[in-house]
Amino acid sequence: EIARNMETRMAAVEARLAALEGGKPGTPAAAAAAGGAAAAPFVKAFDELVAEFFAPVEQGAKVCGPDVEKSVAAFKEALAAQRDMLVVASSSRQPFDVNLQKVLKPTSDLMGKVDTLKDRRSKQFNHLAMLAEGVQCLGWVCVEKTPISFLSDTMPGSEMYGNKVVMEFKNTDDAAQADFAKAFKQFLLELQKYVKAHHTTGLAWNPNGGTGYAGSAGPPPPPAPPQG
């Protein structure tokens, strides 16, 4: 469901914004952008968010078993992809009608990866479902004007499964698993604070930035007149 929801949002974005040339993480253009804009305040704040609040999630996963560790690793990959996208936004003007799909796709794909790791056969299903629901929060970048409301609406799904983990493991010898769920909830809350502080009305593009994507200098040209 997470992957389908994200695909729906991505399709809506694609109708307005199409492929960012060279923006995919790992390409030379992305590396150049990262080198030139990594110090942007909201990129630095994102780094601090991950370092301070996702690191405890990674550490906590180690006591929850390999299924959870694998899902958390995929979540971390999604965060890295989102950071690459933020670097591009920090150095680029907001495009007209084209040019965002490719830079969003790596995050979307990795969100789907976390979702596919939600295995009902796993003894840690509630942990995996908590992460799978929570990764949908990274879809805030697709939401114009109301990303805070999007996060408020999306987080409870993850919290529901997190509460199940807490109830199962609190006051037991495995209470560290309850702490893991609490740490993840705190990360999502801090993500919401981050978005509120830096992207209140949507992803913050740089109005004085470059236009390293095709068609970004203005609206697309009108259609050619009919032949004959």
66-90 vs 28-37: helix crossing angle, rounded to 10: 70
Of 120, 48, 124, 130, give the one whose Cα is nearest residue 83: 48
Q: What is the pTM of this model?
A: 0.78
Query: Judging by beta carbons within 10 Å of its beta carbon (0-12, 13-18, 19+), is residue 131 exposed, middle or buried?
Result: buried
Q: What is the pLDDT of residues 102-131, one digit of tens each?
A: 778 899 999 999 999 999 999 999 999 999
Q: What is the pLDDT of residues 140-174, one digit of tens each?
A: 998 989 999 999 999 999 999 999 999 999 999 99
Predicted confidence band of residue 73 (pLDDT cuts 50, 70, 90):
very high
Rounded to a whole number of angstroms, the distance between the first and last alpha carbons of the chain is: 49
Please give the distance of CA 188 from its chain centroid, rounded to a whole number: 11
pLDDT top residue among 88 and 52: 52
Residue in the structure block whose two tokens are 């994507």: 213
Do residues 52 and 89 lie in contact, with contact meaning Cβ atoms separated by under 8 Å?
no
Q: Is the pLDDT of residue 10 over 60?
A: no
3-state secondary structure 164-225: HHHHHHCCCCCHHHHHHHHHHHHHHHHHHHHHHHHCCCCCCCCCCCECCCCCCCCCCCCCCC
Q: What is the pLDDT of residues 180-203, one digit of tens each?
A: 999 999 999 999 999 999 999 999
How far apart CA 135 and CA 6 sit, in angstroms, is 10
Ranking 2-6, 62-66, 101-105, 223-227 by mean pLDDT, the lowest is 2-6
How far apart CA 97 and CA 14 sit, in angstroms, is 9
pLDDT value for 210: 78
Q: What is the pLDDT of residues 14-68, one digit of tens each?
A: 443 333 333 344 433 443 344 444 468 999 999 999 999 999 999 999 999 999 9
